[in-house]
Each structure stands twice: as structure tokens, then as C-alpha cells.
Amino acid sequence: MSEFTLWDIVYNLLLAARWTVLLSLTAFVLGGLVGLLLLMVRTAGNPWVVRLVRAYVELFQGTPLLMQLFIVFFGLPLIGLDVSPWVAATLGLTLFTSAFLTEIWRGCVESVGKGQWEASASLGMNFTQQMRYIVLPQALRIAIPPTVGFSVQVVKGTAVASIIGFVELTKAGTMITNATYAPFTVYGCVAVMYFLICYPLSLFARHLEGKFRNVAR
């Protein structure tokens, strides 16, 4: 059996934390793209599409993230796709993120006054132009603080990916605990590392909120 110093523990956790960051970034970017797509088709206003997107959001907000990952991880092989924990975790977290972001952004788009839509329509703009030049630029300003705030949820969500066997920070913590029998130290270090990733994001979100409130006044 090998001896683990505190530095060995921290060093190995830091190596694993790279995967937490990478998974968070991938899920956040891809989830943002899917969320934007859902927002566009939902705002375009076909009632069936609206209902479908609402059901999608309800499904992902009303079930545990762990179950979503399990279904992706165990479901895709049934239709002949061989998925690694990395692919399953990325796909599951992307869907999860897209559902939450599209719901956050919907509120922001709805807060843009109806007059803006009508004015741009009277200038002969089509839906894409209205979104691109009139509505999204205004909605974006309101959307940034809650979006940054939600990124914290994505980072914390990646911890659940450890359960389907993806080796990120939490999984590495479990593996190192099994080798060192020092759960208090190891999980303490794991918690500190998550905190170091998430707390700056939280502070940034709060800073943006304050900034926006001042602009609005």
C-alpha cells in the first residue's frame, strides 16, 4: 500500500478537478445552445411547440438529475449506441442545463415589452430579425446575472456524474478515500475545491445583479 501525504491527495484531486471544469464548461455551452434553440422555437409561438417545450422543461425540472443520467447511460446502449460515462454525463447534463436555461431566458424575453415586438414588426422585420436585433439584445442584459448564477448549479450537478462512473472531483475523492481511509480530509479537500470553483461564480452573479439594478434605476 502506498503512503499518501496531504500534498498527494490535493495533487490528485486537482488533476481530477480538471474534468469537473471541462464537463461543466461543455455542458454549459452545449446546454446554452440547445436552450437558445428551444427559446427560439418556443417564442415563435406554434402552440403545439410551446406545449412540447413546456413538457420538456417540466420533465427535467421535475425529476432527479441522477435519474436523467441513468436513463441516458442505460438507455442509449439499447438503441445500439455505445456510450462511455463521459458521453452519457455530457449528454445528460446538456439536456438538464438546456431545460433550466430556456426557462430562465423565457422570463427575460417576456420582460421585453410587447411594443418592441410591434414596433419592429411595423418596420417590416421578420421573426429572426426581431429576435436578433430588437428582443435578444435587450433580454440578454437581464439574462446574464441569473445565467451566471445557474452555472453554479451546473458545476454542482457534475458531482452526480460520479455515480455513473465518470472520474471527476467527487469520484476521485471516493477513490482516494478508499486508498487512504482518510474520508474527513479527502472530502474536506473536495468540498474546498468545489467551493473555490463555485464561489467566484456566485460572487460574480451577485455583482452583476447589483450592477443591473443600478442601471435599471
Partner 1 sequence: MAYKFDFGAIVPHWELLVDGVILTTELTVIGAVIGVGLGIMGAWARASRAPVISQIVGIYVELIRNTPFLVQLFFIFFGLPALGVKLSEFQAAVLAMIVNLGAYSTEIVRAGILAIPQGQIEAAQSLAMNRVQIFRYVVLLPALKKIWPALSSQIVIVMLGSSVCSQIAAEELTFGANYIQAINFRAFEVYFVVTGLYLVMSILLRMGLKVLGNFLFERRRHV
Residues numbered 121-160 forming contacts with partner 1, rule: CB under 8 A: 152, 155-160
Provide CB contacts within 8 A for 46, sequence distance 6+.
none
**Which CB sits closer to partner 1, 134 or 190?**
190
Asked if 204 touches partner 1 (CB under 8 A), the answer is no
CB of 207 to partner 1, least distance (A): 15
Quick one: cell of 117? 415586438
Asked if 56 touches partner 1 (CB under 8 A), the answer is no
CB of 24 to partner 1, least distance (A): 11
Q: How far is CA 137 from CA 98, 112, 140, 141, 154, in A?
A: 20, 10, 5, 7, 24
- CB atoms under 10 Å from CB of 119, counted, come to 13
Provide CB contacts within 8 A for 176, sequence distance 6+.
4, 9, 12, 13, 186
Number of residues that bind partner 1 (CB under 8 A): 40
Asked if 177 touches partner 1 (CB under 8 A), the answer is yes
Cβ atoms of residues 23 and 166 within 8 Å: yes
Judged by CB under 8 A, the residue of 22, 125, 163, 167 near partner 1 is 163
Judged by CB under 8 A, the residue of 2, 5, 79, 214 near partner 1 is 79
Asked if 27 touches partner 1 (CB under 8 A), the answer is no
C-alpha to C-alpha distance for 100 and 213, rounded to whole angstroms: 23
Asked if 57 touches partner 1 (CB under 8 A), the answer is no
Look-up of cell digits 427575460: 108
Judged by CB under 8 A, the residue of 47, 62, 115, 124 near partner 1 is 62
Phi, psi of 167 (to 5 degrees): -85, 95
CB of 99 to partner 1, least distance (A): 13
Provide CB contacts within 8 A for 71, sequence distance 6+.
92
The one segment of 34-42, 102-110, 128-136, 192-200 that binds partner 1 by CB under 8 A? 192-200
* Closest residue by Cα to residue 131 from 164, 108, 147, 157: 108
CB of 82 to partner 1, least distance (A): 13
Asked if 66 touches partner 1 (CB under 8 A), the answer is yes
* Closest residue by Cα to residue 77 from 67, 86, 88: 88
Report the interface residues with partner 1, using CB under 8 A: 59, 62-68, 70-71, 74-75, 78-80, 152, 155-160, 162-163, 170, 173-174, 177, 182-184, 187-188, 190-191, 194-195, 198-199, 202
